[in-house]
Structure 1
Amino acid sequence: MASRLTAAVLLLALLSACATPPLVRLDTGQGPRWEYRPSSSQQSVKVDTEAFEESLTQLVLNAPLKLRPAQQGWLVRASHPGPREDTRWQRLMSKSFGGLCEPGQRSEHCLSLLDDMMGLSEWDKLGVALGLSLDPLKESISQAVQDTLAPQLFYTVIATGLITWAVLAANPEPVFTKAAALISVLLLVYLGAETFLEVVDASHELKWTTDRATTWKELEHASQRFAKRIGPKVARVLVLAVTLVVSQGMTGGAVLLASRLPMLPSCSEAAAGAARLGLNLANVGQVTSVAVVGSTIVISLPATAVAMTAQSMGGSVAAAGEHPSAFRSWGSYSGLRSALGSAGKGKQWHHIVEQTPGNVDRFGPHALHNTENVIPLEQGLHTRVSGFYSSIQQEITGSRSLTVRQWLSTQSYGTQRQFGLQALEQIRNGTWGVGQ
């Protein structure tokens, strides 16, 4: 009886451990660590086929892609033929776009079952499987890149980032740095913590399976298993994140990367998704690493990249040990005021991205009236900010006729938010003002 009881207790403990909901921890290296336990009902940002094709087309047109081959430690252009012959790895990636050839067939546009795969490295096999797993997106990718790149060449480019990320994800407790960290945080923003952890686990399984594969059919089976686990909706986000990060945005730093974020679909919804994690979407380029320890996701970043809600309101995250409250949004400012009440003695509510009619039409009310975009400000500071936005500041906007508000209304959500945060800091310290 005692042994049965012990077994039952152990089983319950194991089930509880497996069922532990994910925890997101923000580590700035100074002060408190902010933590947030996402709701299991959290919805991912929807990216359908049409939005995927439109966004991918913009990225390819506006951000020349670069490739990091397995044999080299530097970036080389992949948008045109180079003086050197393609490596075996690059040829495999290109052929994987065509899938497996028909039995008995050899072709430069597909992987032949007649070819011996025993000489393939683990990197090669993982890359082939990842290439094959994107088969459901093949038509959309071809449609998006047909005017700028050959689809096979694009596969080669994207496979680079996918392989690098998947290899890191396959580690027992993965730590993503540099480009892989940015891909990870974009996946978190668009997919949510639970789905992100599922993609990490699926990558671990894919790496384990492809390492042991000895036939093309086994690689195909591994790719199909991976594709089934993540699904086309997740695959679209993964391809877009990799495309954005392996573009020239990496060489331009966080600012240039932020300027390209609006090319991603549903950017305003993604900003809200970032806020749920305690992040400013416009500043995700400042993330230095993302680590996965069990069901805890640790994001290392400077304090400037943490959402203002986390620092001043505790809206979407809370200091470690405190109970975090969830991100909330409303369809009107009156709804927000009714729910949140007064901003506090001597304070007024302030929209970082202003609630102008144009912004409401472009981004929707929920992107503006939420606990990430609306913060309490001292009344005097709020008055100075409003006056500044109503003034003409040629040195800042480059316009002699438009007010700051009018000029800003033409910018993207991310740009408006970044400017709004900068304006608060500059006006508070006296650098910007109506008479300056």
Structure 2
Amino acid sequence: MRQSSETRKWTEAARGEADHDALLFARLPTDFGPVRVGDAEFKAALSRMVLDMPLRVASSAPERRGGGWMPGTGGSGGEAWQAELTRSYMRHCEQRGTPGDCFTRLEDGPFLQEDDKRSIAMALAVGPALEGVDAEVRAMLDPTRVLATLSISITAYMALVAAPDPVLTKGVAAGAALLLWGYLGFEFFDLIRAYRRLSEEAARATTFAELREAGERFGRVIGPNSVRILVLVGTAAVGETAALVSKAPKLPGFEQASRTIEFNTGWSLMDAAVGAERVIVSMPEGTLRAVLPMTAVAMTARGGGDKSSGGGSGTPKEGRVLPNGHRAFKSFDDFKDFMGPAGEGKQWHHIVEQRNVNVERFGSEAIHNTENVIAVDKAKHDAISAFYSSKDPQAGGMVVREWLRTQSYEKQRAFGLMVLRQFGVAP
């Protein structure tokens, strides 16, 4: 996979930069294949990591507080299938040799709720991958408790990544998403689609057999390699960001994933995962964008940099522009201080509008950057602004910008580019 010209220019422009507080807004490539993790190296790595994994502390006793509920005493009507589902779940736990609420899913009531069913389906999906964990580890830790912790953690992260138009802010969830991207490449979106199906099927399930089928289908759809990667990243991400920092570089295949990302983007995968301010996932468009620190540019890219190339060493007064640079700013004022005036008879125009709702949702760096803000003739800029303030059938009869605020970042950008073409600003 050859580094795209756009990414190459962006990387070259970043070389030699001294401003480590600067942020870069970039569309992440996904046109590369996944890292392959073998079964043996997976089991060895997992055995090492689970010893340091903080496990949930929960009782496995089935008795319920405030009424002494026991499985099998559920009511009639709508509760009948819930009671039977819960009994089936308890039988599954007993068959595993861990009778009771083995996945700690009944802590908030006598019946399994939607999020409980998703976690159980996920446990059933990834459970087979954990069966080969080292015997010494199995003797020290309860494998079912490990599986419960992992399934809850993975489900929580996947629910964030697979939410409609998700925007993941700085932290372990954004870091886990970028690690999954680095490992999976074009299969990243296959994983999200598979999880969405699991989530929907688990929510509808009324029997344990349906939960089992949802979990097993998930494993079949993404395949054993992606299951291993999901479990490895999920295990590394249990806990705080510090756990991700210490464990991720030791994962099997991490060096290969890092080399692939660095070759295609010029970024350090670990610096990107740990330092990402925001990650914006758009499933309909199949795109992934991130606000990254300048320090995410890999040392190999910075090391040979020439300050006279790309961005150069000019000052803001000289109008230093990073070619296709996706250089991001904390505010529009900062952008204008760096870029200067738009030009005689021109005004700066945001393709994705700079409304407060967009800034709060996507982050200021996603709005005030050199990809999203362009110079437009003043008369055309006024006409475009008037159009956005009008009602239009394409917006369902709503005011255009009010309708637009409900759309994903990619849809807003695609719409903004279409408007620029319609008003003769872009070809």
TM-score band, normalised by the shorter chain?
Answer: 0.5 to 0.7
Q: Deviations over 1:186-207 (max 9, x none)?
A: 1111111x11111111111111
Give the conservation status (yes or no) of the 8 Å contact 1:56–1:145.
Answer: no
2:290 to 299, 303, 313: 299
Compared with structure 1, are the counterparts of its residues 302 and 99 closer, same or farther at alpha carbon in structure 2 (3 Å cutoff)? farther
Compared with structure 1, are the counterparts of its residues 49 and 143 closer, same or farther at alpha carbon in structure 2 (3 Å cutoff)? farther
Aligned length: 266
2:41 match: 51
What SS does structure 2 have at the residue aligned with 1:173?
Answer: coil
What SS does structure 2 have at the residue aligned with 1:66?
Answer: coil
1:204 match: 196
Structure 1 residue 150: Cα displacement: 1.2
2:128 match: 136
Distance 1:226 1:43 in 2: 20
Q: Deviations over 1:72-112 (max 9, x none)?
A: xxxxxx3xx57997998xxx99x97995878xx9954989x
Structure 1 residue 298: Cα displacement: 1.1
Distance 2:43 2:91 in 1: 19
Distance 2:191 2:63 in 1: 29
1:367 match: none
Compared with structure 1, are the counterparts of its residues 182 and 309 closer, same or farther at alpha carbon in structure 2 (3 Å cutoff)? same
Structure 1 residue 180: Cα displacement: 1.6
Compared with structure 1, are the counterparts of its residues 38 and 108 closer, same or farther at alpha carbon in structure 2 (3 Å cutoff)? closer
Aligned: 1:66 with 2:57: no
Give the conservation status (yes or no) of the 8 Å contact 2:180–2:229.
Answer: yes
Compared with structure 1, are the counterparts of its residues 123 and 132 closer, same or farther at alpha carbon in structure 2 (3 Å cutoff)? same
1:285 to 265, 274, 294: 274
Compared with structure 1, are the counterparts of its residues 205 and 321 closer, same or farther at alpha carbon in structure 2 (3 Å cutoff)? farther
Report the AA paired with residue 196 of structure 2: H
Q: Deviations over 1:284-308 (max 9, x none)?
A: 3222332212211012221112335
2:417 match: none
Give the conservation status (yes or no) of the 8 Å contact 1:210–1:219.
Answer: yes
Report the AA paired with residue 303 of structure 1: M
Structure 1 residue 123: Cα displacement: 0.6
Matches within 5 A, 1:326-345: none
Compared with structure 1, are the counterparts of its residues 265 and 319 closer, same or farther at alpha carbon in structure 2 (3 Å cutoff)? farther
Report the AA paired with residue 245 of structure 1: A
2:227 match: 235
Normalised by the length of structure 2, the TM-score is 0.52
What SS does structure 2 have at the residue aligned with 1:301?
Answer: strand
Compared with structure 1, are the counterparts of its residues 138 and 260 closer, same or farther at alpha carbon in structure 2 (3 Å cutoff)? closer
Compared with structure 1, are the counterparts of its residues 319 and 33 closer, same or farther at alpha carbon in structure 2 (3 Å cutoff)? farther
Distance 2:59 2:127 in 1: 30
Report the AA paired with residue 46 of structure 2: L
Aligned: 1:271 with 2:261: no
Instruction: Give the unaligned 5+ runs of structure 1.
Output: 1-22, 68-77, 112-116, 323-436
1:260 match: 247
Distance 1:87 1:304 in 2: 53
Compared with structure 1, are the counterparts of its residues 259 and 98 closer, same or farther at alpha carbon in structure 2 (3 Å cutoff)? farther
Give the conservation status (yes or no) of the 8 Å contact 1:168–1:176.
Answer: yes
Compared with structure 1, are the counterparts of its residues 57 and 31 closer, same or farther at alpha carbon in structure 2 (3 Å cutoff)? closer
Instruction: Give the unaligned 5+ runs of structure 2.
Output: 1-5, 12-19, 65-84, 104-108, 311-321, 327-427
Distance 2:125 2:236 in 1: 20
What SS does structure 2 have at the residue aligned with 1:274?
Answer: helix
Normalised by the length of structure 1, the TM-score is 0.51
